[in-house]
Structure 1
């Protein structure tokens, strides 16, 4: 395994807000933070996660979205290009240099002074479409396998802007985050031929494929 380290270019913290015609509570609107944040077992101190069914909890403590992916959205939906900027997907941390094809489920990283592990992709919900005002965002995320990923926290610590994210360990027989979407899509489209591994090391229970 080759050692890999990138800089945390942005830390984003969400406060309670509403979205959609029914003013549904949400924490997807996040703002850039210049301060240091404690990383607890449930995520970054100060960040709100409203709907615990789909966000938050030990297996979805921190959401990481690669800044590189925004260029694809800008190309696909140029009339919304100004909207596709780091932080707008609802991520907690933004980096350049690591993507869903390079990061594997179960990868362990040092994030600031904490130790975190990749647990699962982010499954986009209707709020992503609503936030950008376009009904195709979630489907584009899944079809292109550019969802970003969640971390579980193995050791608590502190995170400040500019801190490093350093790969420490990779599980044997692990697979890239992007490959999870190949498995997911093949389950619903029988024309897609894909054989899932029997065991995917490090994957959250809610994403286990039977």
Structure 2
């Protein structure tokens, strides 16, 4: 990893809202916060996670999305360019300088005064497509391996805007977050020629391939 630390450029907090034709409850709509938030084992204080089957919980406590990925969306879907801004995909924190190819599953970071660990990629659901009004967003995220990642919280603390995210430790034989999508796609394409690792250190049970 080239950068061992970056600044948290944005903290985004969601409130209860609805999405889609059936007005499905959601927390995907996040607002920029200038406050200090507690980091608990279940995420940031004041943030809401509605569908606990697929969002939230100890393995998906905080969602981090790299700000630079929005440029790829704008290039692929220029007619939606104004919609692709930090916070819009439902992330809790935004940074520049760390991407899915550089961050590894199992990486341990100091986030504000807390200690967190990368647990898994985000698997985009229909709500992402619905939010941007385009049916191709989720497939683009998966094919380009630009999903961002979740953290589990190892030590609780606090996070304020502008705080530092600092890499503390990387597991032996770890792999980048982006490679998880290569493993995922290879399971459906037997001719890909890709040989996945037998074990991915630090990966949440939800994504276990071994």
Give the TM-score normalised by structure 1.
0.98
Residue 190 of structure 1: CA displacement? 2.0
The runs of 4+ residues in structure 1 deviating greater than 4 Å are none
CA distance in structure 1 between the partners assigned to 2:12 and 2:124 by the alignment: 18
CA distance in structure 2 between the partners assigned to 1:22 and 1:106 by the alignment: 37
Judge which range, 72-81 or 185-194, deviates more: 185-194
Determine if the alignment matches structure 1 residue 79 to structure 2 residue 87: no
In the other structure, the counterpart of 1:177 is 177
Alpha-carbon displacement from aligned partner over 1:111-137 (angstroms, at most 9, x marks no partner): 000000000000000000000000000
In the other structure, the counterpart of 2:41 is 41
Specify every segment of 5 or more residues in structure 2 that has no aligned partner in the other structure, as ranges.
none
CA distance in structure 2 between the partners assigned to 1:16 and 1:2 by the alignment: 38
Q: How does 1:34-183 map to 2 (within 5 A)?
A: 34-183=34-183
Alpha-carbon displacement from aligned partner over 1:3-36 (angstroms, at most 9, x marks no partner): 6000000000000000000000000000000000
SS in 1 for 2:181: helix
Is the Cα–Cα contact under 8 Å of residues 3 and 168 in structure 1 kept in the other structure? no
- Superposition RMSD in Å: 1.0
Is the Cα–Cα contact under 8 Å of residues 174 and 201 in structure 1 kept in the other structure? yes
Specify every segment of 5 or more residues in structure 1 that has no aligned partner in the other structure, as ranges.
none
SS in 2 for 1:123: coil
Give the TM-score normalised by structure 2.
0.98
CA distance in structure 1 between the partners assigned to 2:91 and 2:3 by the alignment: 24
Is the Cα–Cα contact under 8 Å of residues 10 and 95 in structure 1 kept in the other structure? yes
Aligned residue pairs, count: 210
CA distance in structure 2 between the partners assigned to 1:124 and 1:162 by the alignment: 27
